[in-house]
Amino acid sequence: MSYCINPACPKPKNPPTLNQCQACGASLLLRDRYRVIRTLGRGGFGATYLARDEELPGRPPCVIKQLRPSADAPHVLDMARDLFQREAKILGKIGNHPQLPRLLDYFEKNQEFYLVQEYINGFTLQQSVKQGGPFSEAGVKQFLSEILPLIQYVHNNQVIHRDIKPANIIRRDEDKKLVLIDFGAVKDKVNPTKASTSEQTALTAYAIGTPGYAPPEQMALRPVYASDIYALGVTCVYLLSGKSPKDLDYDPKTGELLWQQHVNASEHFISVLTKMLEISVRHRYQSIEAILRDLDLEPYMDSLSQNMAFQPSGGSSDNASGPLSSGQHTGGSPSARMAAAIRARRERAANSRQGSSAKSLASNRIRSTRHMRPLSTATSDSQSSAGRRLSADDVKLTYLKGKRDFSSQVLSGVDLQKVSLPGIGLSQSELVKANFQGADLSGADFGRANLTKASLRNAKLGRAYFNYANLEGVDLRGADLSYACLSNANLRGANLCGADLTGALISEDQLDMARTNWATVYPSGRRGLL
């Protein structure tokens, strides 16, 4: 189909081979090369279209953003032109990052402005939540490990995105990476001292961002880098709860978003999100490095390092030369150095704990004999029962009471087939020959767990985390492992026949150690072949 973008056209839909609109006679080829197929979105400033480039082989798809000022006053057109040129400059400067859309062309025609960008095929995070439901805490942490280095790259280039939200983050079908879109010209920084007339104020109003995601200082046209951090915090709340800001209440005295009661997350993660969502800029996180430091996401460090690999040198992307080797992580970008610092701190803490482990173990044994009580009534169930063998009924009952953390438990041989335990934490647990066949373990944390010869056949393991887990000989036939993190997991002899690995973090070396067949869906989305 050819779509006419003349706003006065009564019937914009045309046959795909025509070059002029049948209804109004307008040209259907922008700049004699771009054929618009359909509308992707409309707003007060113009519209976004899906188009094809007729001049290139294969007629590849592209996105055309049309900026149509709502007033004809010369100063409004000048302002629109300035904003348009700024966005083109920004995209030209930072759009060579593999997770940002590339600028392909830009031009002005009949006092309307057009940007042609790379088309990103995939689902937005908003669509993912609407179709698959909210993310687990582990899933949101994985999201942050991917998106934070990307936002830092944008900030290092002295750009404030100003419209971070689930609808502007796409999981690209091609390689399953997150892509940040919509660097709208009217969302770039605007000097409020220029907004002196009613028309300019109306135009600059479009630069505010999305209500609910934009913090107060941005609504007042005073955005800072921390404004993007606030929007990212609201995005995390949406991913955890499935509720957009308009569906949540606000504190009438402070204006703070009341979100805690709608999410299921650890106290530590809630504290991080709370600081990201501070109304006061002064008390909010000021940098991406500070968030990375407080998250301390050791299970996701490998994914984090991969996403940090593309970083500018001295604020420019020109010197980027591809992924860093393992020996380079301590140099380069601030994020890479932060990642190394987090890992080093983890190792120091682990060494320190080893020194007092014998004394702690003796103390725990004394406490357990004096105060032994059922798991379901313990003050801190998972911690107080660490190392004690639990039954399947213990786990199910405790989970139903709202507990999710079963770290370091002895669950070898436990029979939990067909149970629903999404988001359960089983890191460092002993799960040898455990039976989870047909269970719903979406978003579960199996980091460093021992699952030797366990059965996870037909289990739902979407966005589950197996970093450094021992999966030797595990039965994963028909399991849903879409977007799961399998980095550093031992998959020797694991049966992945018929498993869905779409978007999963897994290496070819790991796959070589496992059993696969024609029904295995690989991370690329292809079936039966790498």
Ligand-binding site membership of 176 (annotated): no
**Residue whose C-alpha is closest to residue 455's, from 432, 427, 434:** 434
pLDDT given at position 284: 95
Confidence of residue 384 (pLDDT cuts 50, 70, 90): very low
**Residue whose C-alpha is closest to residue 118's, from 139, 91, 141, 138:** 91
Q: Choose between 186 and 491: higher pLDDT.
A: 491
Catalytic residue positions, numbered = 163
List of E strands, 248-297: 249-250, 257-258
The pLDDT tens digits for 56-98 are 998 999 999 887 766 666 676 777 777 777 778 888 878 778 8
Architecture of domain 122-190+204-317+328-347: Orthogonal Bundle (1.10)
CATH entry, 382-530, from 2.40.50.140, 2.160.20.80, 3.40.50.10490, 3.40.50.300: 2.160.20.80
pLDDT > 70? residue 421: yes
Could you tell me if 135 and 443 are in contact, meaning their C-beta atoms sit under 8 angstroms apart?
Answer: yes
**Residue whose C-alpha is closest to residue 489's, from 478, 498, 497, 501:** 501
pLDDT given at position 308: 43
Tally Cβ neighbours within 10 Å of residue 114: 21
pLDDT given at position 313: 36
CA 88 to CA 68: how far, in whole Å? 16
CA dihedral in degrees (419, 420, 421, 422; nearest 10)? 150
Q: What CATH superfamily classification does 2-118 receive? A: Phosphorylase Kinase; domain 1 (3.30.200.20)
pLDDT given at position 92: 81
pLDDT given at position 169: 95
pLDDT > 50? residue 320: no
pLDDT given at position 89: 80
pLDDT given at position 330: 36
| Least trusted range by pLDDT, from 166-170, 385-389, 511-515 | 385-389
Confidence of residue 383 (pLDDT cuts 50, 70, 90): very low
For residues 470-492, average pLDDT: 94
| Angle at alpha carbon of residue 314, lines to 308 and 319, rounded to 5° | 70
Q: Choose between 210 and 340: higher pLDDT.
A: 210
Could you tell me if 494 and 516 are in contact, meaning their C-beta atoms sit under 8 angstroms apart?
Answer: no
The pLDDT tens digits for 214-232 are 999 888 888 899 999 999 9
For residues 485-500, average pLDDT: 93
Give the domain ranges of the chain. Answer: 2-118, 122-190+204-317+328-347, 382-530
Q: What's the mean pLDDT when you consider all of the chain?
A: 79
Question: Same fold for the domain at 2-118 and the one at 382-530?
Answer: no
CA 228 to CA 83: how far, in whole Å? 19
For residues 141-164, average pLDDT: 90
Helix (H, G, I), strand (E, B) or coil at 119: coil
For residues 442-450, average pLDDT: 92
Q: Choose between 42 and 16: higher pLDDT.
A: 16
Q: Which residues pair with 470 in a beta bridge?
A: 450, 490
Q: Choose between 380 and 295: higher pLDDT.
A: 295
pLDDT given at position 6: 86
3-state secondary structure 386-445: CCCECCHHHHHHHHHCCCCECCCCECCCCECCCCECCCCECCCCECCCCECCCCECCCCE
pLDDT > 50? residue 193: no
CA 337 to CA 527: how far, in whole Å? 38
Confidence of residue 237 (pLDDT cuts 50, 70, 90): very high
CA 181 to CA 465: how far, in whole Å? 27
- From residue 49, give the alpha-carbon distance in Å to each of 105, 111, 167, 408: 14, 18, 16, 52
| Least trusted range by pLDDT, from 33-42, 292-301, 347-356 | 347-356
Could you tell me if 94 and 159 are in contact, meaning their C-beta atoms sit under 8 angstroms apart?
Answer: yes
CA dihedral in degrees (344, 504, 101, 185; nearest 10)? -70
CA 31 to CA 305: how far, in whole Å? 42
Element (H, E) at 270: helix 267-276
CA 139 to CA 463: how far, in whole Å? 6
For residues 480-485, average pLDDT: 93
Tally Cβ neighbours within 10 Å of residue 359: 9
